[in-house]
Structure 1
Amino acid sequence: MVAIEITAATIKIGDQLVVGGQPYTVCDMSALASGGKLLHFAGGESFHMGCFTVLWASRHISQLPGFITPRARRYEGTRHQRTTRERR
């Protein structure tokens, strides 16, 4: 989890917000005509986020744009380090 700055345009379902000292996880949201979002939380609460509202949220790192999960090396088991200088 990393802390990121979010707006109504960048918020995603699953983001965790702290509003009034209470942590909330976004489970659903609705777009509003004004450009904002109506966020619905797991506990049944809702929050109107205006189009210019900026908040901090926690997001799983795998959801960040451009993040590619690291793959295991294909030939990792066959690699070895030279312990002595080899002559050719």
Structure 2
Amino acid sequence: MFEKEVPHSYKVTPPLFDLRETGQIEQDADVIILMYCEDYYDKETMQKEMTEIHAAKHRNEPVGIFKLRFLKEFGRFVEGK
């Protein structure tokens, strides 16, 4: 797992090129998944508990974005709207 501190004003989905500073991770990885939780950056958002999951790289499959709801009380993600 790679954890990068970002400024609190950083209100965009995570770009894959953020990993370029980490050495060979971007090149060597078969699968890279990035997460973005809007309510971490914007406490007033209507998207409470929603997390965007970005399949940013997958060597043999298509990439894409989907949303999950994070249930803090259970420490798990579920399909959510």
TM-score range, shorter chain: under 0.3
- The one of the two structures with greater contact order (alpha-carbon pairs below 8 A, sep at least 6) is 1
Provide the TM-score with structure 2 as the length reference.
0.24
The structure whose Rg is larger is 1
Structure with the higher fraction of residues in strand conformation:
1
